[in-house]
Amino acid sequence: MAIRKPLPSEFPPIQRLSTVEADVPEGSKKYLNHFVDEVVRPDGSPGYHHRLEFAAGVMIAHLERVSGRLWLPMVDHYRYPINRWSRELPSGGVEARDASLEDAAARELLEETGVKVAPSDLRPLFPGPLYGSVGVANQSFHIFEGSGGSVELDNLDDEERAVISSSMYKLEDVHEMLGREVVESATTATIGHLLYREVTNG
């Protein structure tokens, strides 16, 4: 049996001396802020770190069992930074109007897929959030799972509809898409976890 090795306790090993906010268009700050930190590395040498700060995010695995197979909605996004389409679980940022992470998750699920669930029917899939691009960003995703609810029209606006569409897939089929249609890290981790749980629970 493998022994779980604890994470290092030294915190933080890199000391921040000063911070400068990068000059970005004001309207873009709704989504992120870009900072450049002057730091001292563990060996005492000076340096700089670029750091992107995002609002917390949510992601939803809405599962339905049909004839013994798990199905879930996936969303096709055009992702500008990588210049390609990416098949992902429904997700989005937490907004000021959201009373809780569950509220944000239910809102994003409805907006992107048309599936309406009560926030109280969503439950965390992992003990804490997952992080992507941890070398440069603090972007986090709180992953929720749920089932049931009702199907309505999605709430995408015209701009979103040009770059977002959703469809239902079987869980094992989505697993086969990893590294192909599915390349986003939080979706990849979630799909792998769900399939492992499905297989081990028989």
Residues 37 and 70 in one domain: no
2 lies in a domain? Answer: no
Domain boundary among 54, 69, 84: 54
For residues 182 and 88, the answer to whether their CB atoms sit within 8 Å is yes
**Residue 193 is assigned to a structural domain of this protein:** yes
What range does the domain containing 112 cover? 57-200
User: Looking at this protein, which amino acid is placed at residue 93?
Assistant: G
Q: Is there a single domain that holds both residue 38 and residue 131? A: no
Q: Are residues 178 and 161 in the same domain?
A: yes
5 part of a folded domain: no
Query: Does residue 33 lie in a domain region?
Result: yes
10 domain-assigned: no
Strand, coil or helix: 103? helix
- Nearest by Cα to 39 from 52, 50, 29, 31: 50
Instruction: Say yes or no: 172 and 122 in one domain.
Output: yes
pLDDT in single tens digits along all 202 residues of the chain: 668 889 888 788 999 999 999 887 777 777 788 999 999 999 999 999 999 999 999 999 999 999 999 999 999 999 999 999 999 999 999 999 999 999 999 999 999 999 999 999 999 999 999 998 999 999 999 999 999 999 886 667 777 777 888 999 999 999 999 999 999 999 999 999 999 999 998 6
Domain presence at residue 172 = yes
Q: Which CATH number characterizes residue 161's domain?
A: 3.90.79.10
Same domain, 125 and 150: yes
3-state secondary structure of 177: coil
| Total domain count, the chain | 2
Of 115, 29, 102, the C-alpha closest to 72 is: 115
The alpha carbon dihedral of 36, 94, 197, 63 has a sign of negative
- This prediction has a pTM of 0.90
- Separation of alpha carbons 95 and 86, rounded Å: 23
